[in-house]
Amino acid sequence: NMLNNTAHKQIQFFKTFLIWANQRGLTKNTAYQHFKSKSEENEIIYLTEKELMMLFNFDFENERLERARDLFVFQCFTGVRYSDIQNMDHSDIKGAVWKLRTQKTRSIIEIPLNGYALSILANYREWEKPLPIISNQKMNNYLKELCKKAGINEQVKIVKYQGNKRKETLHKKYEIVGSHTARRTFISLSLEKGMKPD
């Protein structure tokens, strides 16, 4: 009863385990190497420029939501992963440039900070960290709440497959926004503005 992408993930986990077992001599069976599973592309959920600016300028009159908003739109303006924001220190910011070693790839990159990103950092200059720290789970819950309040409620169709059976569901955009939406927003808006996808 799994969706195709869920089944694909489970098979990949199991193959990883079998590779580990094979390398340690716990099994000599290598038949799994010939088993292929396919995943399907998911819909790319991102904010339009209008939605992003609506969120940036919205007055929530609630510190909890305003901090979550600041984190999210900062991600949208910089394109970084949530884990990289959590590891940020004041010493990493040099003028309008953020120098960071990424959590996932461990590479060192320099990110130019636009006026919007700098204005967010200015709100927290007296804080111990450059931006508030919120757990990823809470952040995702707050995002749905703040996007709903800001009126980000465009209908989005999600299509998934279970075997050959097509399953369509309709959602309001605020229901399916998560911290990963920020990177997709940055990339999508950058491409719209003419950035080359390399």
What pLDDT was estimated at residue 167? 86
What pLDDT was estimated at residue 29? 85
The alpha carbons of the chain give a radius of gyration, in whole angstroms, of 20
What pLDDT was estimated at residue 124? 94
- At residue 153 the predicted structure's pLDDT band, cuts being 50, 70 and 90, is very high
Residue closest to 113 by CA, chosen among 83, 57, 75, 143 = 75
What pLDDT was estimated at residue 113? 94
Phi/psi at 99 (nearest 5 deg)?
A: -100, 120
In the chain, what percentage of residues exceed pLDDT 90? 48
What pLDDT was estimated at residue 58? 94
What pLDDT was estimated at residue 36? 83
- pLDDT above 70: residue 16: yes
What pLDDT was estimated at residue 197? 64
- pLDDT above 70: residue 98: yes
- At residue 74 the predicted structure's pLDDT band, cuts being 50, 70 and 90, is very high
* Residue 182 near residue 143, CB atoms below 8 Å: no
Which one has a higher pLDDT value, 6 or 21?
21
Q: pTM for the whole thing?
A: 0.78
Which one has a higher pLDDT value, 129 or 101?
129
